[in-house]
Amino acid sequence: MSVDKKILHTKSQANITYKGKALPDFVAFLSQEGDKIISHSRLPLSIAFGTVYIFPHSGSRLYLTLEHFFGLAPYLSLETYPNPKTKLDEFKHQWLSIASGSKRLTNIAVGFRWKKNKNMGFMLGFRTDFNYLNGLDFGDYKKYATLPNTGADIYHFTGGAEFTVLRQKVIAGLQFTYGKSANQKQVANFSNPVEYNAIDKIPLQGVLQHTVEMHYYSISLYLSAVLNFGGNKGNEADGKK
């Protein structure tokens, strides 16, 4: 369920010829809002497994987590009617509706924690965030619009340290995120323009190619503190565990 929903789609064409014949001029404009838009939200079934190994001599810990996501068959996440009143082929599907879905995938996370002493410890981690839409076959829904998606698989690398100072614990960490996707479809192609691209149904552009490569970089800083007031000292409490 959602509120304040609104979808708008517009497209126009004028003075375009193809193979010596004039194509129809048109202005297609359609919007819907409120209860005329039916929204559907689905989450894939997932199964997770995790384990921890404690090194016998140092007390360091190795963490491993696997989570498998089952696929979701393509469906309409936003569904609305009517379609533009035109006989052009490109508007025969539900022009405002949006398709979604999910492919099968498995994400992993690995972590390591080393306690140098009772006042200092270090942590390292790695986890994946594979793209759930990249390579998904939409089947009967392939002509529908989809929400923007980079198609990139994301990898997170983390590191941090934990300090105990005057019974107060401070954790500081850094996360580096990298993602890459290749062979993505062009948004526009002006390298070899033609008056009308009949394959993609757009004028004054060449055929859209799957030649786009995208790189994603991100750095995040984490800082947290646990403040203790009264009671046993943090160091003494840790020693009794």
DSSP the chain: --SS-EEEEEEEE-S-EETTEEPPPEEEEEEEEGGGEEE------EEEEEEEEE-TTT--EEEEEEEEE--EEEEEEEEE----S---GGGSS-TT-EEEEE--EEEEEEEEEEEEETTEEEEEEEEEE--SSTT---GGGTTSB-------EEEEEEEEEEEEETTEEEEEEEEEEEEEEEEEEPS---SS-EEEETTTTEEEE----EEEEEEEEEEEEEEEEE---SSS-HHHHHHH-
- The two tokens of residue 144 are 């529908």
pLDDT at 155: 97
Query: In the chain, what are the domain boundaries?
Result: 6-240
| CA gyration radius, the chain | 27
Residue of 207, 205, 211 whose CA lies nearest to 184: 211
pLDDT at 96: 81
pLDDT at 117: 84
pLDDT at 48: 97
Report how far residue 141's alpha carbon sits from residue 94's, in angstroms, rounded to the nearest whole number: 10
pLDDT at 103: 94
pTM of the model: 0.78
pLDDT at 31: 80
Residues of the chain with pLDDT under 50: 1-2, 234, 236-237, 239-241
pLDDT at 151: 85
